Structure 1
Amino acid sequence: MTHVHAPDPSELQRIIDESPSPIFVQFSASWCGPCRAMAPHLEAFAQSRANQLPVIKMDINDHPEVAARFMVRAVPTSMVLDNGRVLGVHSGALSAAQLARFVDGSVAVQRS
């Protein structure tokens, strides 16, 4: 069972609007080597944060309108969102530990 969600655009908007916590979104593409290499790290991160925040993966080819909305220019791009506001952005592959530091740092900036 995967802990990474792959919603359609309307479901993503519902998650953004209704989530009581920040959410993590990774923009990726099936043809992207670094995205494929990062997949097990993303799953491990999602599993470790299952009760803390939604972890979402959006394919830019399947949902180009979402990529355009968030001005994604490269894949993989990771974002932390809170009520639709971007708290942090990182382009490039990350390990599970790096994902944790990125998310924690992004959320900490919001709280300060």
Structure 2
Amino acid sequence: MDAVRTPDPAELQQLINESVSPILLQFSAAWCGPCRSMAPHLEAFAQSRSGQLPVVKMDIDDHPEVAARFMVRAVPTSILLSNGRVLGVHSGALSGGQLARFIDGAVAAQGQ
């Protein structure tokens, strides 16, 4: 079972509006090598944080309007959101450990 969600834009907006915890939103593309190499790390991270942190993946080619809304200029790009606000942004592939440090650091910086 995939722990990473792949919603449509309306479902993403609903998740952003209703989530009580931060959300990791990762932008990728099928043609992107670093995105493909990061995918298993993202899935493992999502499984390890299941129930604590929703992990969402959006393809920039399938949903260019969402990528434009978040001003994504490169893939992969990971964005941490909380209460509709951006807590942190990272462009480039991350390992599972790097993802954890990115998330935990951004959350700690916001005092959440």
> Do they fold alike, i.e. is TM over 0.5?
yes
Where 1:10 maps in the other structure, the secondary structure is helix
Q: CA RMSD in A?
A: 0.8
Question: Which residue matches 2:33?
Answer: 33
Kindly provide the amino acid, as one letter, of the partner of residue 16 in structure 1.
I
The 5 Å alignment of 1:73-92 reads 73-92=73-92
What is residue 53 of structure 2 aligned with on the other side? 53
Quote the offset at 1:83 in angstroms. Answer: 1.5
Supply the distance in 2 between the matched residues of 1:11 and 1:58 (Cα, whole angstroms). 11
Aligned to 2:15: 15
**What amino acid does structure 1 have at the position aligned with 2:40?**
P
Q: Which amino acid aligns with 1:87?
A: L
Query: 1:3 corresponds to which residue?
Result: 3
State the alpha-carbon separation in 1 of the partners of residues 16 and 106 from structure 2. Answer: 16
1:110 Cα shift? 1.0
Quick one: distance in 1 between partners of 2:79 and 2:108?
A: 14
CA distance in 1, matches of 2:42, 2:22: 16
Letter in 1 for 2:15: I
Deviations 1:46-89 (A, max 9, x none): 00000101000000000000000000000000010011110000
Structure 2 stretches lacking a partner, 5+ long: none
1:38 alignment partner AA: M
How far 1:109 sits from its partner (Å)?
1.0
Match of 2:97 in 1: 97
Runs of 5+ in structure 1 lacking a partner? none
Q: TM-score, normalised by structure 2?
A: 0.98
Alignment: residue pair count = 112
Instruction: Give identity over the alignment, percent.
Output: 76
